[in-house]
Amino acid sequence: MAKATPTDIDDLETADLPEMDLYHPKSFLTKWVFSQDAKVIALQYATTATLIGLVALVLSWLMRLQLGFPDSFDFIAPTDYYQYITMHGMIMVIYLLTALFLGGFGNYLIPLMIGARDMVFPYMNMLSYWIYLAAVLLLAATFFVPGGPTGAGWTLYPPQAILSGTPGREWGIVLMLASLALFIVGFTMGGLNYVITVLQARARGMTLMRMPLTIWGIFVATILALLAFPSLFVSVIMLLFDRLLNTSFFMPHIIEFGEKLQYGGGSPILFQHLFWFFGHPEVYIVAVPAFGIVSDLIATHARKNIFGYRMMVWAILIIGLLSFVVWAHHMYVSGMNPYFGFFFATSTLIIAVPTAIKVYNWVLTLWRGNIHLSLPMLFAIGFIITFINGGITGLFLGNVIVDVPLSDTMFVVAHFHMVMGVAPILVVFGAIYHWFPLITGRWLNQTLGHLHFWITFVGAYAIYFPMHYLGFMGVPRRYYSLGETAFIPDSVADLNKFITLAALVVGAAQIVFIFNLIYSIFWGRKAERNPWKATTLEWQTETMPPRHGNFGPQLPRVYRWAYDYSVPGAKDDFIPQNQPPAPDEEAAPTGAPPS
Amino acid sequence: MAIAIVLILVAVGSVAFHIYSPWWWTEIASNWNQIDLTVVITFWITGIVFVALTLFVAYCVVKFRYSKNRRAEYKPENKKLELWLTILTSLGVIGMLAPGLWVWQQYVSPPPNADEVEIVGQQWQWSFRYPGQDGILGTTDANLVSFDNPFGINPTDPAGQDDILIEGDALHLPLGRPVKFLLRSHDVLHNFFIPQFRAKMDLVPGMVTYFWITPTRTGEFEILCAELCGLGHHQMRGGILIEEEDTFQTWLAEQQTFRQIQQDARLHQNRPVKIATDAPAGKE
Ligand code: HEM
Ligand SMILES: [Cu+2]
Ligand SMILES: [Cu+2]
């Protein structure tokens, strides 16, 4: 933890660099295409992620059409359905959410919010994006290769993932694995950048315990990702070897349709351990940046300091740490040694405590706040509710014996959509409504924004809340169709139709949002500077949107934490982080972390 | 204001849905009432938290709505409150975890007198093996699987000779006797799931997994595969019949043993043995 106090820092030499002419982009190509400006890279990441995310959205419509109207859509065969779920899940989790939170928000916000001119390794940052793009293109290419994309489910469990009973065995799975490997390479370049930038490039006075929670969230999530992705990387490579070179890392003796295969001695469960050692932290890689961002949205729009800042930081750190010792809660019925269940159920439910503390602190920040019901605040509230809901069902699935009837049913689908689909995406939307004026200098259309919020929040709840009950009944997930099943009453078909309609409406609202984005970039109402009256540094730049290099000739100097809202005695209801203490200002108020 | 109303509707509506909607678990048919009980405990604890927090947020957005003339409170921490919330949450967690682990202890400890039955999964069908007279399942090896020996039973193992093999028929089980399922797969992962039993477990090629139940009511139930196993996953169904003891014994006595099937196979060299080769049907 940084020991330097503002007084120590006064004695330090300034590290500001003179304006470096060489480094500024000179042409369209270096400004917008091969840009080394973290802000442009952020937009590139965000655009690419959104585009591939739209593919996943369309796939979700197709899946829902099949589930809601199983006999009506002849063009959806079982092969297609299993390909849809796989591509949908993989895109949403990795190529959309991970890329958007870290590559998108991370790149845009880290340098700005900590008072740096850019990432510490701009060239590597640029490479990171281009490798990510290659990974996305490779993934998209699987739609066009013979046999189509893999239908192994996003978990890619062997032996099934590489055997012929699964679609896309020829090309799909190979390209998927290659794409994932590329993604990890690209991510590692970006990730090292984010972490080192946070550690090394903070403005003077920006101690770790003065950082906005957004940065804490992105910082911790990136560390998690750097530690978790290697596990996916090795499993991907080993699976690729099993597929292409006939090794048997994950393959035991197998009789496929009466025919003996050339495999033997491997362990399918080993893959699951490796996969979930990555896969569980991955949930937090998506969730923790959302935690951070939503904290700042709530504080800013409730005009109140985030309640229990230090607890919030510790909770993020503890959650991050614990997220590495809970992975096998995805494997309670996998056939692993059942005694693992005791350990993993305990560790999983322990995580609930710091997580619950975060939720309490968000709602306690609202308590005695001065709440603007602006769009970011509405989305933040939507996040709180869906996250509580999804967190609660996590307590069902984490408690090993309760997981037994529920695992692999629609309950799981409802749970993870609520907690890592809807909740973080609501934060993404809130963040976009919040930072759009900074990024473009214009407002998003607020009427369309409200339409977007209401349909998305209420619609998503209507999709996923009832779905849990299908899981209780025993409806399995990843089922192309239910067919005739004695214990499933006809009313389930009606519920499925309802869910499908809700999903289509929610999907349509996203198209409205995309339209709003594009429209407002060019024709949106002009925004004044620091329109939300926020304290954090990104709003204190010379220009809005900030130019290359972010700040003027002088880097900002930080005097206070990020949450000086409604400070008693202050003139305004916010004091920017870079505003020096007034002569009569008390020393840091109690509870604000000591510098 | 709209948001407060919607939040209240979410809280009240969710509870109402829970109570009044027709979608709920099936009538239980095994001894695992305690699983249902743990679910109910979890529902109470988490449900209260959910409703309380949602209503609290609704209250806050009404009560503390923005006004120019007011300032938010400046109070960064409240150690005592945070401590209390932590303690209460921990108690709630213990309240769910303790019964959960207690039931799990039973789930992983089959009674010593449980009958053993083997479940074999392959793309995309179920078959079953009873230990026969000696009560012992013969050893198996995936390498021995062939047309004449679809279970891969070791022909030199005397314990396997009297094993009773069931293909293309339902699994029959006697009412009220604990049974330990030994699960085996020849190809990919599958999962043996009967919703009315509240229990399931993966079948993993290369190893034997298990779980146990005691059937508590007679009737016919459906086996669903609950682990994605390729194109026919959703069609990999089987039947289970829970019968009174004597009906079950009568049925069992009519079934063929491994030895009988082997002899038959030698008699009619070309007897076709059903091996799963059916591709899954799409839409008709
Ligand atoms: C309107 C939004 C969405 C709808 C309607 C939707 C719908 C679906 C459906 C129908 C399935 C297949 C369920 C099954 O048969 O097992 C599915 C699977 C999945 N979805 Fe979504 N989804 C949406 C958004 C998201 C988001 C934002 C995420 C990000 C986390 C996500 C992640 C997943 C994952 C990981 C799977 C599992 C795929 C698998 O089983 O391999 N979805 N979704
Ligand atoms: Cu997990
Ligand atoms: Cu299956």
Q: pLDDT tens digits, residue range A5-57?
A: 444 555 555 555 555 555 677 788 878 888 889 999 999 999 999 999 999 99
User: Do B99 and B139 reside in the same domain of the chain?
Assistant: no
Both structure tokens of A367: 């308590």
pLDDT surpasses 70 at A503: yes
d(CA A522, nearest CA chain B) in Å: 30
Residue B281 placed within a domain: no
φ and ψ at B184, to 5 degrees?
-145, 140
pLDDT in tens, A249-280: 999 999 998 889 999 899 999 999 999 999 99
Please determine, for residue A355, whether its predicted confidence score (pLDDT) is greater than 50. Answer: yes
For range A468-490, the mean pLDDT: 93
Residue with tokens 């990919």: B188
Mean pLDDT, residues B182-199: 95
Stretch A500-506: mean pLDDT: 97
Same domain, B55 and B84: yes
Query: What is the CB neighbour count within 10 angstroms for residue B116?
Result: 17
Of B22, B77, B152, nearest to A308 by CB-CB distance is B77
Binding-face residues of B in 208-267 toward A, CB within 8 A: 209, 220-222, 224-235, 237
Tokens standing for residue B102 = 């207690």
B102 plus B212 within the same structural domain = no
Closest residue, chain B, to A344 (C-alpha): B101
Nearest CA-CA partner of B224 in A475, A67, A268: A475
CA atoms within 13 A on the CB side of A269: 17
Side-by-side strand order, sheet with B209-213: B164-167, B125-130, B115-122, B179-185, B209-213
Closest listed ligand to the CA of A455: 1
Please check whether residue B194 lies inside any domain of the structure.
yes
Query: Would you state the structure tokens that stand for residue A151, as one six-digit string?
Result: 């239908």
| A417 within ligand 1 shell (Cβ under 6 A) | yes
Residues B152 and B42 in one domain: no
Return the residue matching tokens 């700005």: A112
Residue B180 in this model has a pLDDT that exceeds 90: yes
User: Which residue in chain A is spatially nearest to B202 when comparing CA positions?
Assistant: A334
Question: Does the structure show a pLDDT above 90 at B272?
Answer: no
- The Cα–Cα gap between A314 and A353 comes to 12
Distance from A500 to chain B by nearest Cα, in Å? 17
pLDDT of residue A592: 53
Q: How far is the CA of A476 from the centre of ligand 3 (A)?
A: 10
What integer pLDDT is reported at residue A31 of this predicted model?
Answer: 80
Asked if B23's CB is within 8 angstroms of A491's CB, the reply is yes
% pLDDT > 90, chain B: 77
Mean pLDDT score of chain A, rounded to an integer?
A: 92
Q: Directed axis angle between helix A172-200 and helix A107-114, to 10°?
A: 0
pLDDT band at A549 (very low <50, low <70, confident <90, very high): confident
CATH 1.10.420.10 corresponds to the domain A38-540: no
Query: Are B134 and B100 found together in one domain?
Result: no
Mean per-residue pLDDT over chain B, rounded = 90
Q: Which of A371, A384, A470 sits opposite B64 (nearest CB)?
A: A371
The answer to whether residue B282 scores a pLDDT higher than 60 is: no
B242 located within any domain: yes
CATH of the domain at B228: 2.60.40.420
CA–CA min distance A372, chain B (Å): 5
Domains contained in chain B, number: 2
Same domain, B165 and B90: no
B200–A405 CB contact, under 8 Å? yes
Task: Evaluate if residue A589 carries a pLDDT over 90.
Answer: no
**H-assigned helices in A399-445:** 400-406, 410-416, 423-440
> How confident is the model at residue A422, as a pLDDT?
96
What's the gap in Å between A151 CA and the centre of ligand 1? 14
Q: Is the pLDDT of residue B221 over 80?
A: yes
- Based on the fold, state whether residues B14 and B119 are members of the same structural domain: no
pLDDT digits (tens, 9 = 90+) for B147-178: 888 899 999 998 989 999 999 899 999 999 99
Cβ(A477) – ligand 1 distance below 6 Å:
yes
Residue-wise pLDDT tens digits, A363-409: 999 999 999 999 999 999 999 999 999 999 999 999 999 999 999 99
Tell me which of A209, A248, A255, A363 to substitute to probe the interface with B (most B C-beta atoms closer than 10 Å). A255
Is the domain of B44 the same as that of B153?
Answer: no
Give residue-wise pLDDT tens across range A308-335. Answer: 999 999 999 999 999 999 999 999 999 9
The answer as to whether B225 is a domain residue is yes
Residues in Cβ contact with A94 at an 8 Å cutoff, skipping those fewer than 6 apart: A180, A183, A282
**Across the interface, do B39 and A396 touch by the CB < 8 Å criterion?**
yes
Give the number of C-alpha atoms closer than 13 A to the C-alpha of residue A118, restricted to the C-beta side.
Answer: 21
Residue B279 placed within a domain: no
DSSP A325: S
| Nearest ligand 1 atom, CA A460 | 1
Size of interface A-B (CB pairs under 8 A): 341
pLDDT band at A587 (very low <50, low <70, confident <90, very high): low
This model of the complex carries an ipTM of: 0.92
Same domain, B209 and B225: yes
Task: At A535, list the tokens.
Answer: 């304290």
Per-residue confidence (pLDDT) for residue A30, from 0 to 100: 79
Compare B117 and A572 and report the one with higher pLDDT: B117
B125 and B189 both lie in a single domain? yes
Q: Which pLDDT score, from 0 to 100, does residue A232 have? A: 97
Ligand that comes closest to the CA of residue A176: 1
pLDDT tens, position by position, A64-114? 999 999 988 889 999 999 999 999 999 999 999 999 999 999 999 999 999
Q: pTM of the predicted model, to two decimals? A: 0.93
pLDDT digit string, tens, across residues A170-204: 999 999 999 999 999 999 999 999 999 999 999 99
Ion ligand 2, residue ranges at CB < 5 A: A 280
Q: Which residue CA neighbors atom 6 of ligand 1 most closely?
A: A60
In a domain, B278, yes or no: no
Domain that holds residue B35: 2-65+78-107
A456 Cβ contact list (under 8 Å, min separation 6) = A382, A426, A429, A506, A509, A510
Of all residues in chain B, what percent are helix, strand and coil, respectively (each to 5)?
Answer: 40, 25, 40
Q: Where are the alpha helices (DSSP H) in A441-544?
A: 446-473, 491-523
Contact B207 A335 (CB under 8 A): yes
Judge: B200–A254 Cβ closer than 8 Å, yes or no.
no
Q: Residue A480 C-alpha to ligand 1 middle, in angstroms? A: 14
